[in-house]
Amino acid sequence: MPLTVLCSLALMLQLMSGLLHFVSLVTSAWVQVGVFVPVQTGPTPPTAARAGGRGAGNGSDPLPSPDSVEFVKVRLGLWEWCQQFQEVTPNCQTPGFLAGVEVLAVVASFTLPVAFILLLYTACLQLGTRKRRIVTIINLVISAVSGILLLVAVVMYAVLTRREVARMMSMIGKDPELSYLGWSYGAEVVASLLVCVSALFVCIHLRRYPKAPPQFQLVA
């Protein structure tokens, strides 16, 4: 594969990963939880509360009517955990692991543009072989670090969020009827994979590039 194709692919992947990363942080819908909350519209007759049959239209249906249940949909992102969960779980405290995920995401927000600018710098400007190799090595290190940070963040969030949501719901005696990772979380996963692939392309480019310019000697 030519070096120009490798550089073009790495540039495109790093640009796409950066855009997906920032879109994911802005939308901040990494996980969505749906909870059915009963609405107190009035006293429930004792006979209806104890009814367990399946009769239709005679007040013995154990399922609550749609008018007596409110569906609360909570979007839990990196920056709005307790703000969005407050109506379901009062006195909410932000889980400790979320701070670590936020730090990783913020650091990646700075390293991704730096890696893209360095790669664009080496691709567009006519640099000497030694300087080009040094800049490419720096780009490889920054790209690899960015990919690792994002992978750790998305894995940590996916594993610990489900556990934390279940714990918070158990505190109020409810189970989440609907809990799934949002589309912006998927965008973050794709961004982490793209930046890792771009780092791989940069590594291949680095291995194929000559380490030193050819030496020419003038013969008298």
pLDDT, tens digit, for every residue of 118-170?
888 877 766 566 777 788 888 889 988 988 988 998 888 888 877 776 666 66
Kindly report, residue by residue over 11-55, the tens digit of the pLDDT.
888 888 888 888 777 776 666 655 555 555 555 544 444 444 434
Distance, in Å, from the CA atom of 44 to the CA atom of 94, rounded to the nearest integer, reads: 36
| pLDDT score of 35 | 57
Listed as own residue / partner, the contacts of 174-177 with beta carbons closer than 8 Å and 24 or more positions apart are 174/35, 174/37, 174/88, 176/33, 176/34, 176/35, 177/34, 177/35, 177/36
| pLDDT score of 74 | 58
Q: Phi and psi of 119, rounded to 5°? A: -65, -40
Asked if the model's pLDDT at residue 216 lies above 80, the reply is: no
CA angle 21, 25, 26 (to 5 degrees): 115
CA angle 53, 59, 61 (to 5 degrees): 40
Asked if the model's pLDDT at residue 103 lies above 70, the reply is: yes
Q: Which CATH architecture has domain 3-29+78-208?
A: Up-down Bundle (1.20)
Choose among 94, 87, 118: nearest CA to 7.
118
